[in-house]
Structure 1
Amino acid sequence: MRISALSEVLPGEPVSNRDMAERFGLHERWLDRMTGNRSRYFCDPDGPDDLPKTTGDLATAAGRRVLDAACIDPASVDFLILSTGSPDHLMPSTVNVVADRLGLNDLPTFQLSAGCAGAVQGLYTARALLCSGANRGLVIGADSVVKLWPADRRLGRISPAELANFALFGDGAAAAVVDADEDGPGLLVERIVLRAVGKGRAPAQTVRWYGADGAPMVTGPDGQERREPMGQEDYKAIERHVPELADAVLRELSEAAGWPVGQVDHVLTPQLNGVMAERIRQHLGVRPEQAVHCVETTGNSGNALPLIQLHRALRLAEERGVDGARLLATAIESSKWIVSGLAMRYRAAEKGQL
């Protein structure tokens, strides 16, 4: 499988930690120190018409952008995969709305319900389809956390822990054109790792479908009635297990490809937030110049984030023009523990080749 083009879409203007402090009563210095994220992006339902407002809008914009980048006719696409944890509706599937908007018809569509490993799940599925006879596909990862906010945007009834989550996450989308034909420029995928390893492990992340407006009232251990949180994170479990799982995936990819980690050109590490990304980089022994980070400026955009990292890694490879540059990537999903990763080789375009 060859990833021949990538794109990313981040809605509107970046929302800084100062903006978060002023709008939601969070502490700017705490956000700087505890998350390491400096900014993130949110869809604005009341914003300009030309800006994405939903997950479907984000996915459509990313799809259009990557089709333009690849200079291909939508009619040449044999399948569409969308990975998301925040579809616009239960029915119709957001992937089919996106297909319609992109002018795609009479082809298989797949919507994967996923989180941080969703983009790799999409690429894994795409590779299977290409191996079964398809020639070209489109893989999109997109998420929007704004749908979890109260419709009136009054966040005073959301707990501080839930508000802190909004500082970690953000909205965004990214897309990849994948080809069975390996004779062309882009990223040649040489290995893919994807496994669910959640047997006997408690979920470390829970996001409930109903968001803030539909949360039921529950009785807590103290006998007091309170609104059930729309999302929960076990940060201690994430801090303990994500680095070790990422290390295992990176070692597996390195051994399978025969590429010592210290000798590859780029390493894409898990991106929960800026602080964790740096801790994981150090744990993995990845040099700063090898690491491709983005979460500190984009926020954690869930399914979009690994593809955004890939997009930026591809741009770095293109800028440096090193044909054969090697890339290793790993994404760990803590919701019910999924490990994933990619080993890729960059192929530069020949002279006169798009």
Structure 2
Amino acid sequence: MAESVVHISSVGTALPGPAVTNAELGAVLGLGPVFEQWVDGFIGTKTRHLAIDLATGEVRYSLADLGETAARQALSAAGIQAGEVDVVIMGTSMPDSLLPTTVNLIADRLGIAQVPTFQIQSGCTGAMQALYLATRLLGTGGHRTALVLGGDVCAKHVDLGIDYAKLPPSEWVNTVLFGDGVGAVLLRAAEPGQRGVRLNRVLTTFTGLGEAPGQRVEWFGLRDRGEDLPAVQEDYKAIEERVPVLALEIVDELLDGLNWKRSDVDYLLPPQLSPKMTGRIVAGLDMPAAAEIGCVERTGNTANALPFFQLEELLPRLTAGDRALAVSVESSKWIKGGFTLEVL
């Protein structure tokens, strides 16, 4: 049996609550104008959306809440009923709980049952890993419609009781950099030559053999939750050095696999670590003819949701013959991810 091609039918996204500005966040953290100046100069993010109410500390949205909203949007946009979905896959680094898995909570809320479900535990390339698995399952002809989700909610790692004024700016970064959100995409198997937005290559490759992790996120149990261990640790110097190099490798691998040239790409979906970092990465990729699709300045770094927010912005712009390339890098143990698509 010949492999099916995979088309993107629709995208849905969900953000929790209103946008939080740097001024609002700085006021809550007790940091004032110096905080705004630091964020503008070092990171570049203007707003982000948070699942936690900064006034009360109450968690208002779970990953499952946002995932359900994004999935329903995608289903509605594609005109597909939940019963037509025959595989559900989610990529996340911060599920609501270790068990039950968040993907199954979302499937239950949607009324999707008696189908395979998968939850991939990964950082910023978890969405790419989920897309990779979905394309393989659809490509074999065993499944016709896949609901793929990616997202993260960092509320469990936000501690409003910390005196941030006593911390160095290097320890403000995670509070500033990340935002919460979920994205969902519906993929469908199609016949060769069928018109649509074809997802023609998905890349995910572990490259961190023998290298120290660039990021660690801890999960605390009864034994270790009282230990003086930071919940999140990042080696920003390593990230700043390694991510642009890996991004360039990803572009080369994706283009070589399709015999495309840089000038053949109409749209570039670059890594969305922060606006400042993204700008440096894009400059190094040397693809001036490709229009950049980005959202991190207004959403913050939503990790596994970001490729879906980029796709949501991209799809309405596409016309026949257009080609796009996406790049994603995970620093936890140095994973390369990306995809290419074209309009047939």
C-alpha deviation, 1:215, in angstroms: 4.8
Kept after mapping to 2: 8 A contact 1:186/1:314: no
* Separation of aligned partners in 1, 2:48 and 2:116: 33
1:56 is matched with which residue: 48, 64, 68? 64
C-alpha deviation, 1:156, in angstroms: 2.4
C-alpha deviation, 1:166, in angstroms: 1.3
* Cross-structure match for 1:233: 234
* Stretch deviating more after TM superposition (228-237 or 160-169): 160-169
2:146 is matched with which residue: 105, 112, 137? 137
C-alpha deviation, 1:82, in angstroms: 1.1
2:181 is matched with which residue: 172, 194, 213? 172
* Cross-structure match for 1:44: 52
1:297 is aligned to 2:292: no
Kept after mapping to 1: 8 A contact 2:266/2:289: no
Letter in 1 for 2:244: P
C-alpha deviation, 1:144, in angstroms: 0.5
1:308 is aligned to 2:316: no
* Cross-structure match for 1:79: 87
Write the deviation string for residues 21-64 of structure 1: whole angstroms up to 9, x where unpaired: 111134101011111111111013699xxx96011111111111
2:162 is matched with which residue: 155, 171, 184? 155
Letter in 2 for 1:302: A
2:105 is matched with which residue: 94, 97, 114? 97
* Cross-structure match for 2:204: 194
Go from structure 1 to structure 2 and tell me whether the alpha carbon gap of 1:263 and 1:52 turns closer, same or farther (over 3 Å shift).
farther
* Cross-structure match for 2:155: 146
3-state SS in 2 of match to 1:115: coil
* Cross-structure match for 2:3: none
* Cross-structure match for 2:343: 346
Write the deviation string for residues 212-245 of structure 1: whole angstroms up to 9, x where unpaired: xx7544xxxxxxxxx3211111111111111111
* Separation of aligned partners in 1, 2:76 and 2:235: 40
Note the residue ranges of structure 2 that are not aligned, 5 or more in a row. Answer: 1-5
* Cross-structure match for 2:216: 206
**TM-score after normalising by structure 2:** 0.90
* Separation of aligned partners in 1, 2:42 and 2:268: 24
C-alpha deviation, 1:310, in angstroms: 1.7
Go from structure 1 to structure 2 and tell me whether the alpha carbon gap of 1:307 and 1:52 turns closer, same or farther (over 3 Å shift).
farther
* Cross-structure match for 1:113: 121
* Cross-structure match for 2:25: 20
Kept after mapping to 1: 8 A contact 2:158/2:175: no
3-state SS in 2 of match to 1:155: coil
Kept after mapping to 2: 8 A contact 1:45/1:53: no
* Stretch deviating more after TM superposition (244-253 or 19-28): 19-28
Find runs of 4+ consecutive structure 1 residues off by over 6 angstroms: none
1:333 is aligned to 2:330: yes
Note the residue ranges of structure 1 that are not aligned, 5 or more in a row. Answer: 218-226, 348-354
* Separation of aligned partners in 2, 1:45 and 1:108: 35
Kept after mapping to 2: 8 A contact 1:193/1:339: yes
Kept after mapping to 2: 8 A contact 1:5/1:70: yes
* Separation of aligned partners in 1, 2:270 and 2:87: 28
Kept after mapping to 1: 8 A contact 2:218/2:231: yes
3-state SS in 1 of match to 2:135: helix
C-alpha deviation, 1:255, in angstroms: 2.0
Go from structure 1 to structure 2 and tell me whether the alpha carbon gap of 1:87 and 1:267 turns closer, same or farther (over 3 Å shift).
same
C-alpha deviation, 1:316, in angstroms: 2.3
What is the Cα-based RMSD across aligned positions, in Å?
2.1
* Cross-structure match for 1:275: 276
Kept after mapping to 1: 8 A contact 2:268/2:290: no
* Cross-structure match for 2:11: 6
Kept after mapping to 1: 8 A contact 2:265/2:289: no
* Separation of aligned partners in 1, 2:332 and 2:167: 21
* Separation of aligned partners in 2, 1:247 and 1:289: 15
C-alpha deviation, 1:131, in angstroms: 2.4
* Stretch deviating more after TM superposition (201-210 or 159-168): 159-168
Write the deviation string for residues 233-282 of structure 1: whole angstroms up to 9, x where unpaired: 11111111111111011012112222211331101111111100000000
